[in-house]
Structure 1
Amino acid sequence: MKPELSLHGRTLQLQRYPVRQNETLQAWDAADEYLINYVSENYDALDPDRPILLMNDSFGALGCWYSQYGKVVSVTDSFIAKQATLANLNANQLDEVTLSDCLAALPDAPQLVLLKLPKNNRLLSWQLRQLCQSLPAGTMVIAAAKAKEIHTSTLKLFEKYLGDTKTSLAVKKARLIFCQVNPELSQPLPAPLEWQVQEHGLTLTNHANVFSGESLDIGARFFLEHLPADNRYEKIVDLGCGNGVIGIKAAQLNPDAKIVCVDESFMAAASCRHNANINLSDPSQLTAVVNNCLEGMPADDTDLVLCNPPFHQQNTITDHIAWQMFCDARHVLRQGGKLWVIGNRHLGYNDKLKRLFGNVTVVAQNNKFVIYQSTKS
């Protein structure tokens, strides 16, 4: 597949991040093209000195396109999206853009606001409230997604939290949402959700984009029941940590070990940090890191990696993230170090682990989940 986005006499070379050989997925979609075409056809010349606000630009296609038209501020909860944007800007020799996470303040009075729908409605609701608080009355917010992802309930969220809403016709199975800001709908941003895991004595909080936002998911609950305690552990990594519950429990079971919790979501890392502060007697035992898996981390210095891999990237179902997690885990483990992986039984992680490590055993299983262990030889 040629990584070329060609519209209106311009061509951009765009890659997903990290770059993989024989990539079959584009770094943009029909919704990105629809936004670019609509703005090109309906907006006069943009002011290069005024902000352009982009939200949830998955791999930087919009950031690259608009970098020459104004002061782009691209807001994302994804470390991978940030790295993709930086790489694609550099590859196309384009001006820098300001990259911001979802917990930061928005720019004043942007001339253009483009939003790609996140797959999580809790994040969408949070962002719509943030926009309503920040934008001047009458500002038009243009959102985009695949038509099948825009439901009546989606439009009701725009009406509830931002203002009057209408939609476009579908083009290439994508659709636009037009919403005019009504400041009378403005309300305070919600506090992170909080709940108890009584059987483990934990209090957990989640920001809006963290997986399983209102309760402990059943996979994590099963993993918690089987986490190891070993006084020989010096360093434990919780890879794909979410709100940090696995790493925090590992810290309690292994008080002499240093715990590193890693996620590509800024909201996840912030939730993990807060949860460590309120649940650990020594919060400095745990470090929360935002990263693309274990990229750039030192080799051969970790005793145990705990991993609950996602099987999607943005809205695309894929197993390449799990494979990257397993490869990165093998890289950072010491000789004799162990990778523990939990997954749905049907995902077949045992085959990948056997191929990579040469060994795999089952630690525990129930009718839905399996916990595997592989040892670095």
Structure 2
Amino acid sequence: MNRLTTPFGSCELTRFPEDPRDRLRAWDAADEYLLRHLDSGTGERGPVDLAGAGQITVLGDRWGALVTALAAYRPAQITDSALTHAATEANLARAGAPAGSVRLLTTQDAPPERIDVLLVRVPKSLALLEDQLYRLAPHLHEGTVVVGTGMVKEIHTSTLKLFEKIIGPTRTSLAEKKARLIFCTPDPGLLSAGRAAGDPWPLRYTVDEDGGSGAGLTVVNHAGIFCADRLDVGTRFFLQSIPTNTAGARVLDLGCGNGVVGTAVAVADPDAEVVFTDESYQAVASARATFEANVRTDRWRAEFLVGDGVADLPPGSVDLVLNNPPFHSHQATTDATALRMFAQSRKVLRPGGELWVVANRHMGYHTHLRRLFGNSEVVASEPRFVVLRAVKREKRPRPM
């Protein structure tokens, strides 16, 4: 846990799930730069009168640092991450913020009707930024204050062009501690065009004949989903290996993304019950759309969950887990998410149940699986990727 000191007060912040061994902070220099600017005008613009500003909306606040610092002004937070919502709730409670002081919204929810101050933490996904700016533009007005923030490495010419194209004239601040601010002046003509101006999301494509058990499926991707316009190499390899003769099993597509893996199982085995889960609201919306584009929803059984892995599933309730784990958390490279997914999988599997994982070969997940499950088998491999299988064994009674 680390303490963030801002012009609006000091608060202790953590990421979610909380892990005392986690050395990554819940904020960075970009968050600090934006908060200093809002108070003093640092960054070539005057201070913002937050008390009289009206509706403040924060897009992309990663762990709730911005809305926790600004809780007294009753902002709305828009995020694609259920983990961000959980972190925000915990950080607000720790800071003593009154219940309901921050309105928590997802990227799939309708935005506030009128937005007077829009603060944007630039996301890793340029597509997600594009989609959200299109969604928010009709709710801005000529007097809306729009300020973005990000680390220098996160703000590119393409980032600025999106603000310019969808909202209005855009420029950046000088860099401070490798962070930069974005200032955008709303153009009434662009705002009135809003979403009708041509938001391309969601995208749809058909998996080609080399897509293994996914061949011929229609895939729907909302903005922000990895490899949105085609099947990524790892998933393609996974679809050539996953078991599809599941004999009516309960199957979990863990970290489902666009849901093509779980949908492939459902199409191959109409008796299977498939659970799609992801911490991304965009991902679960994509998975639902992909599933519905390929199956008769009145016959097949499916469940769609947004949240922290398997938190909503009872222990021992799943026969098969299929997992293509991420190895990034925003800009940081880490195996922490994958290892947590493996532990969650073991908990939710029935005795004899199986976890199938596709991963970059260099991640060395077979060692972790062997330590956790007591076994690990290579099902398929190629120079870049490997498919691994681990089985949850029956517990043997200890000898008397």
TM-score range, shorter chain: over 0.9
How do 1:217-256 and structure 2 match up within 5 A? Answer: 217-256=232-271
- Partner of 1:163, secondary structure, is coil
Alpha-carbon distance, 1:129 to partner? 1.9
Contact 1:262 1:294 in 2 (8 A): yes
Q: Which runs of 5+ in 1 are unaligned?
A: none
Partner of 1:196: 206
Name the amino acid aligned to 1:34: Y
How do 1:4-15 and structure 2 match up within 5 A? Answer: 4-8=3-7, 10-15=9-14
Using a 3 Å threshold, how does the CA distance of structure 1 residues 142 and 321 change in structure 2: closer, same or farther? same
Contact 2:275 2:302 in 1 (8 A): yes
Name the amino acid aligned to 1:89: L
CA distance in 2, matches of 1:45, 1:279: 51
Using a 3 Å threshold, how does the CA distance of structure 1 residues 372 and 231 change in structure 2: closer, same or farther? closer
Partner of 1:87: 90
Matched, 1:129 2:145: no
The superposition leaves residues 97-153 of structure 1 with CA deviations (integer Å, 9 ceiling, x where unpaired) of 111111222223333211000111111111222232220124231000001221222
The superposition leaves residues 258-285 of structure 1 with CA deviations (integer Å, 9 ceiling, x where unpaired) of 1001111111111111111110134641
Matched, 1:36 2:30: no
CA distance in 1, matches of 2:53, 2:162: 32
- Partner of 1:90, secondary structure, is helix
Name the amino acid aligned to 1:140: V
Contact 1:241 1:261 in 2 (8 A): yes
Superposition TM-score, scaled by structure 2 size = 0.90
* The 10-residue stretch of structure 1 (250-259 or 359-368) with the greater mean CA deviation from structure 2: 250-259
Name the amino acid aligned to 1:197: V
Matched, 1:179 2:187: no
Partner of 2:60: 56
CA distance in 1, matches of 2:311, 2:244: 27
Contact 1:228 1:253 in 2 (8 A): no
How do 1:331-346 and structure 2 match up within 5 A? Answer: 331-346=347-362
Using a 3 Å threshold, how does the CA distance of structure 1 residues 339 and 231 change in structure 2: closer, same or farther? closer
* The 10-residue stretch of structure 1 (130-139 or 249-258) with the greater mean CA deviation from structure 2: 130-139
Using a 3 Å threshold, how does the CA distance of structure 1 residues 134 and 45 change in structure 2: closer, same or farther? closer
Superposition TM-score, scaled by structure 1 size = 0.95
CA distance in 2, matches of 1:44, 1:150: 22
Q: Which runs of 5+ in 2 are unaligned?
A: 42-46, 210-214, 394-400
The superposition leaves residues 345-371 of structure 1 with CA deviations (integer Å, 9 ceiling, x where unpaired) of 111110110111110001111121100
Partner of 2:155: 150
Name the amino acid aligned to 2:14: Q
Partner of 2:212: none
Contact 2:7 2:35 in 1 (8 A): no
